[in-house]
Structure 1
Amino acid sequence: MFAIPLPFVVALLLVVLLVRMAWHGNAENRGAMIYLALCAAMLTVVGLRWSLDLPMVRFLQPVSASLLPPAAWLCFSGLALETPRPLRRQWPHAVPVVVIIGLSASWQAWQSPIDLVLAAMFYGYGFALLRRAWGGPDALGGARLGSADKAVRAVALAGATLIASGSVDLAVAVDFGLSQGEHAASIVAFANLLTLGLAAYAVTVAGRSRPATQREADAAVETQDAPRAEERRPEPGDADVLGIIDGLMRERRLFRDPDLTLNRLARRAGVPSRRISAAINRIHGRNVSQVVNEYRIAEARRLLAETEEPVTTILFDCGFQTKSNFNREFRRVTGMSPSDYRRSGGGRDGFAAEVSFPAEPPPETR
């Protein structure tokens, strides 16, 4: 009976997802779409290698694999800077790919250690992504503040899958050393089905975390890791920074922008993003995304108590993009669901007593 190799099936599913993303035409998904296309191409090559084992396919398999780590990194690097770096400045990422092409072309001549080089490549990019995720939501200044936490998880997942893929390449190298690669094709095929699927999900989340529109920036704004708990002692000037942010939120209602990012907030405030992140962390003990969402929740509470607008309308008016994120943040701040809050008349102690924006900084920091 005719059977379609499993890599072809997974590649087809990725193509369907790719077509769906292209159909919606969202520019912020461009990086994710490129990565999905590369994943589908690699799985197709794996399927051909598994089925036909042609010399050209043997050459293409490691080459296609070498494209994935740089593609994943470039996809996620857009979340750290609002203005992506020009393509001409990304040339260092092509160097390991060129090395793999050379090793693959000469493999028959001297049995080059191509699997070890691929493993090192996957490990390097994987740990780099994990390091970026370790910085938390405030390290992804180009991600929507409403979905920054999800973007961090996606970055961590992508890094972990690249490390897993590197481990697969090491296993292949060991297999060649012990049994002349007798099980290599099966190891690569089955492992890629798992790791590429997870990585594809991760970059899709990353693409959706990018703002739908990108305003031109004069220069990229720096980002850095948020301070740890032991570093949260307020410093001189922190209250001034929070005063600027508070003014933008209260007077200009900046929190209503669903595409608001840390970098955009920094430009509007005229303060470096790392300064905003550090000041908020030291005074509030939370990240920028959480504090901005608290402004959104404060407005939602007011609308729930004073109007009859549907909850769905309110969540969009307040800057949220999904009901699940709105419900989760609303429960975090108030301890109840939006519907329960409205039915209770604005909270257990009444609306006027309950509704407030994030706490003002203590007097000693002013």
Structure 2
Amino acid sequence: MIDLRSDTVTKPSQLMRDVSAKAIVGDDVYGEDPTVNELEDYAAKLVGKEAALFVTSGTQGNQAAILTHCHSGQEAIIDEDAHVVVYEGAAISAFAGVQPKTLAHHRGQIPLEAIEEAIREDDVHYPETGMIWLENTHNRSGGSVLPISYLKEVYQLANKHNTPVHIDGARLFNAAIASRVEASEIAQYTDSIQFCLSKGLGAPVGSILAGNKTFIDKARKKRKMLGGGLRQAGILAAPGLLALKSNIQRLADDHDHAKKLAKAINTYTDLSVKHHVDTNIIIADTHESQSSAPEWVKALEKRGIAIIQYKPQALRFTTHLDVSSEDIEIVIEQLKQCSKRKS
């Protein structure tokens, strides 16, 4: 099966398994796991922050950030399709007691004037604005990348209103590779940032939350509250460290594969990829197709290809390190065979 459902399906390499087995460990809750400490130091330097925190998942990292930046009864400005709103089980409200102020966006970019208008005045009737939230790359926009210029403008606006900015950078390094910049150039325009080790980077588990030392010291306690004290966590941290050292530059291959596959979908099928493919996610629209989204999923599954229905009339194809150039050619051939060629 060629699995294009998500980049979360990657399997750890044999080398990752080896470094995990040999990792020097200690009790991380006491700050005594040398492998976790090395991962956190390396990750912080990679994104240009003072400190970092190893967390079990992107959701845990995001929730620790919210709990650290905000207090109950505040409001967070977020785009209406953000992962934290759609896919994190209302944790922002359940755990932190924070109300999301969701705004319309274009490919993850909320207009600056809309952000400024949403920042609350000091009024007894209103919640306080606790933070501004961005997502880069933007999942539900097909892995779109937020321009550096936009990040800078949002950060300047936030500073003007003394409001922290957090970036959910689950696929941060995809954004960096696509923008041809270091991840630190993106992270400089945020007060905190979360990125995953377990997606395109190929580690089996874990994410990183980074910010200044004061922020991370507070976030470490929030992680504990969320059940994230993992004791001898070096066994998990070692593959993540290897992923950061070895698998960032190769993300460009995933982007190339996605662009090639998107072109083939538009050329050979009655599906339509309407968005520009920036990174490794393709959203294929089924509105003009003779087959429904569930029918496409079943048809491709029979041909050894796994994808997901992403929206009622859309499919998602996601490339990653376990999908080779040869696999992409197979997928294209199978698409040809189960599709009517466009006239």
| Normalised TM-score (structure 1) | 0.26
Structure showing the higher strand proportion among its residues: 2
Structure showing the higher helix proportion among its residues: 1
Ranked by relative contact order (alpha carbons within 8 Å, sequence separation 6 or more), the top structure is 2
| Normalised TM-score (structure 2) | 0.28
| CA radius of gyration, larger in | 1
